[in-house]
Amino acid sequence: MTPLRSLWLWSGLFAALVSDSGSTSSTQGARVGLAFGSAALAEHYPAPPGESQHVEVVKVGLLVPGEDEALAAKQGAEMAVAKANEGGGFGGRPFELIVRRVEGPWGSGSKAIVNLVFEEGVWAILGALDGRGAHLAEQVVTKGRVVLVSSWATDPTLSQINIPWFFRPVPDDRQQARALVSEIFQARRLQRVATVAADGYDARVAATTFAQVAREAGYPLSVQLSYGEAGRDFEVVLSRIENHGVEGVVLFGPPSPAAELIRRMRARGMRQALFGPLSIVDCDFLESVGTDLEGAVLVAPGHWRARGKTFRQEFQDTYGYLPNAVAAYAYDGMRVIVQAIEQVGLDRERIRDAIANIHYMQGVTGPIRFDAKGNRLGPVGLVEIINGRPSFLDGA
């Protein structure tokens, strides 16, 4: 490929990512980028074959970020593939997990995705990526006509451009926001509520989405705050929370800075009610915050319920630690892919159709079905931390 053509290819894929998510222009930009990127791919890569029964191994791709979540996602997916192979694989042929990292400059990330789709020839892809990475993957799989099961990206705009190859087994930001808004404003009747978000793409999108859902329900926020990733703005943020007389704080961002912010709040004698989405929740988070988290309400990873007990134990026996939400949703996403292949065989379009119509009852995060846009159907559970342990608010 010539340098000019290479630039055309990656520029087309990047065009969908340059706008801030959540706006009309963002969705329109994604459509433009999709068309531009797909044309560029068509110029250089032939369409992959639609069907093949003559393979020795069944390749399934895994896209992971260059961050801490990568290991948990990889282990969750590996565990799902191992279970499938213990059961005989697909007609005696083993499933093989092909892992690629999506990190660094956008061009490098694109190459990793293109490699899976057009060079490795995987039958489906599990993507444990953030919002921007998932947008990028979405553009490539559309041209490659390969399913993308996105197990961690919660950006709602991923499913707004009606791509039939995209499925999301994790609740998106709007679904999580609705559950939190109902608990905060209706069940607890709080009136002065603030959001505090890390300075990153996913946290900003989640906080903005929460504010929009609250406003649509008739509950405008008192203040929306953000902080740098290093937490250097914590004291300013906490002072503003105090000055606004805030009753409840909703945190968005990675677990580690969220835990530090909570510790500083409690050290200042601040007793505001705390709330958070899936992104801040993992076992280390609960342990590191300790009693400072008492009474907090969090979106619950589905595998915390009784149905996830066997998975939690097997994961811990295999890898030496309890699985977090990233691992659990990666496991379920891979199990969905495996079941679809076992059901319809090695045909990409039939795999897509099987996932679109799946009703996977064995999910460790709960039963899995998808709507017409690929979003997971079903309620979003919440837990309250009582005596240091999560207790489901629905009593289950």
**Containing structural domain, residue 281:** 173-302+381-392
Residue 168 lies in a domain: no
Residue 357 lies in a domain: no
**pLDDT value of position 22:** 43
**pLDDT value of position 359:** 95
Two tokens at 264?
């500083």
Give the CATH number, domain containing residue 223. 3.40.50.2300
**pLDDT value of position 286:** 80
What's the mean pLDDT in 271-280?
Answer: 96
**pLDDT value of position 282:** 78
Whole-number Å distance between alpha carbons of 256 and 302: 21
Residue 41 lies in a domain: no
Residue 142 lies in a domain: no
Instruction: Please write the tens of the pLDDT for every residue from 185-227.
Output: 999 999 999 999 999 999 999 999 999 999 999 999 999 999 9
Residue 272 lies in a domain: yes
What's the mean pLDDT in 335-353?
Answer: 98
Residue (of 102, 108, 104) closest to 70 by Cα position: 102
Strand 382-386, strand 297-299: pairing:
antiparallel
Residue (of 331, 324, 333) closest to 376 by Cα position: 333
Residue 47 lies in a domain: no
**How many domains does the chain contain in total?**
1
371: pLDDT confidence band, cut at 50, 70 and 90? Answer: very high
Q: pLDDT: is 329 or 10 the higher one?
A: 329
**pLDDT value of position 10:** 45
What's the mean pLDDT in 8-23?
Answer: 45
**pLDDT value of position 290:** 87
CA angle 225, 231, 233 (to 5 degrees): 50
Model confidence at 24: pLDDT above 50:
no
Instruction: Please write the tens of the pLDDT for every residue from 229-257.
Output: 656 789 999 999 999 999 999 999 999 89
3-state SS, residue 147 = strand
- Which parts of 2-91 are beta strand (E)? 58-65
Cβ of 51: how many Cβ atoms within 10 Å?
10
Model confidence at 42: pLDDT above 70:
no
Q: Which of 17-26, 31-40, 359-368, 369-378 has the lowest mean pLDDT?
A: 17-26
Q: Considering the chain, what is the average pLDDT of its residues?
A: 87
**pLDDT value of position 385:** 94
Residue in the block written with tokens 């495996």: 338
**pLDDT value of position 17:** 44
Q: pLDDT: is 57 or 104 the higher one?
A: 57
Residue in the block written with tokens 């709507």: 371
Q: Judge contact between 257 and 231, C-beta under 8 A.
A: yes
**pLDDT value of position 125:** 98
Residue 220 lies in a domain: yes
Whole-number Å distance between alpha carbons of 123 and 117: 8
Residue in the block written with tokens 């282990």: 75
Model confidence at 361: pLDDT above 90:
yes
Q: If phi over 0 gives left and psi between -120 and 50 gives alpha, with beta otherwise, what is residue 395?
A: left
Q: Residues 6 or more apart from 193 whose CB is under 8 A from it?
A: 184, 185, 214, 219, 221, 222, 246, 247, 248, 249, 250
Residue 51 lies in a domain: no
Two tokens at 98?
């092909």
**pLDDT value of position 356:** 98
Instruction: Please write the tens of the pLDDT for every residue from 151-185.
Output: 999 999 999 988 999 999 999 999 999 999 999 99
Whole-number Å distance between alpha carbons of 216 and 210: 10
Q: pLDDT: is 388 or 49 the higher one?
A: 388
